Amino acid sequence: MSEDSSRHTRTALVTGATRGIGFELAALLARDRYDLVLVGRNREQLSQNARQLESQHGIRVRVLAKDLSASNAADGIVDALRADMVGIDVLVNNAGFGWNGRFVESDLAEQLSMIQVNVTALMHLTRLLLPAMVARRSGRILNVASTAAFYPGPMMATYYASKAFVLSFSEALAEELRGTGVTVTALCPGPTRTGFQARAGMGNSRRVKSLFVMDAATVAAAGYRALHNGKRVCVPGVLNRLMTMFARILPKAAVLQILRNLHKR
């Protein structure tokens, strides 16, 4: 790719790297000879992924088992990087989860944890790692949002709102960083075959049963191209792009009703 590999060994940090889009992005980075820092809660799965990627691509992979729902998780990640004198060239903020159901019936701790992982940890980690990128005048950030970022989502109110933050934050930051050598890309996938649906309690929703669900590898490939092209927003899939356009055209009441019906269990 266009990064200067002669400067030093390039390193990418990927959160939510145990499976799905996060792992697929890590595999693409490994293919292009980035050393990796894999972050997630499941140390055993992360270690298995690390061994696989090291064996296949001859790179070095560090594993950081961190729960991003903890308020000090980002600080802990950066402290570990500093201790090992590891600089980050590419930051992939992929970790996130959702919950399907009526907000009034939700567990408050679960909703607050979702905000911590989807919003606060993403912003916190970006703020801690960004200054070094700007100082080097080189760096790339990929924030995984969702097509959910483009409209409100009844039955998944907090999740949709959190992804709206990710998209807005990413686009604003990309503009702030114009001319610095650092780019920010928001990846906005639609329904994707990952562990997300099970975690969110969406196993029986109409959205999950859609014939237009994409696979994680295809989504990751689109996001990876956008990342290295410096594209600010990437919505993989023609249907997903059409849906985001319809959200702007259709009456808000109709959009809300459609989404509520999609998320019925």
Adjacency order of strands within the sheet including 182-187:
61-65, 35-40, 11-15, 90-93, 139-144, 182-187, 233-234
User: ∠ CA 119-229-146 to the nearest 5 degrees?
Assistant: 30
Tokens read off for 163: 């992804």
Of 151, 159, 160, 224, the catalytic one is: 159
Among positive and negative, which fits the CA dihedral 18, 22, 24, 28?
A: negative
Single out the residue of 127, 239, 135, 126 nearest to residue 188, CA to CA: 239
What letter represents residue 106's amino acid? S
Q: Distance (Å, rounded) from C-alpha 42 to C-alpha 63?
A: 10
Q: Distance (Å, rounded) from C-alpha 106 to C-alpha 101?
A: 7
What letter represents residue 233's amino acid? V
Q: Distance (Å, rounded) from C-alpha 131 to C-alpha 26?
A: 23
* 151 catalytic per annotation: no
Q: Distance (Å, rounded) from C-alpha 226 to C-alpha 241?
A: 15
Among positive and negative, which fits the CA dihedral 219, 225, 231, 237?
A: negative
Among positive and negative, which fits the CA dihedral 149, 14, 34, 183?
A: positive
Active site residue ranges: 159
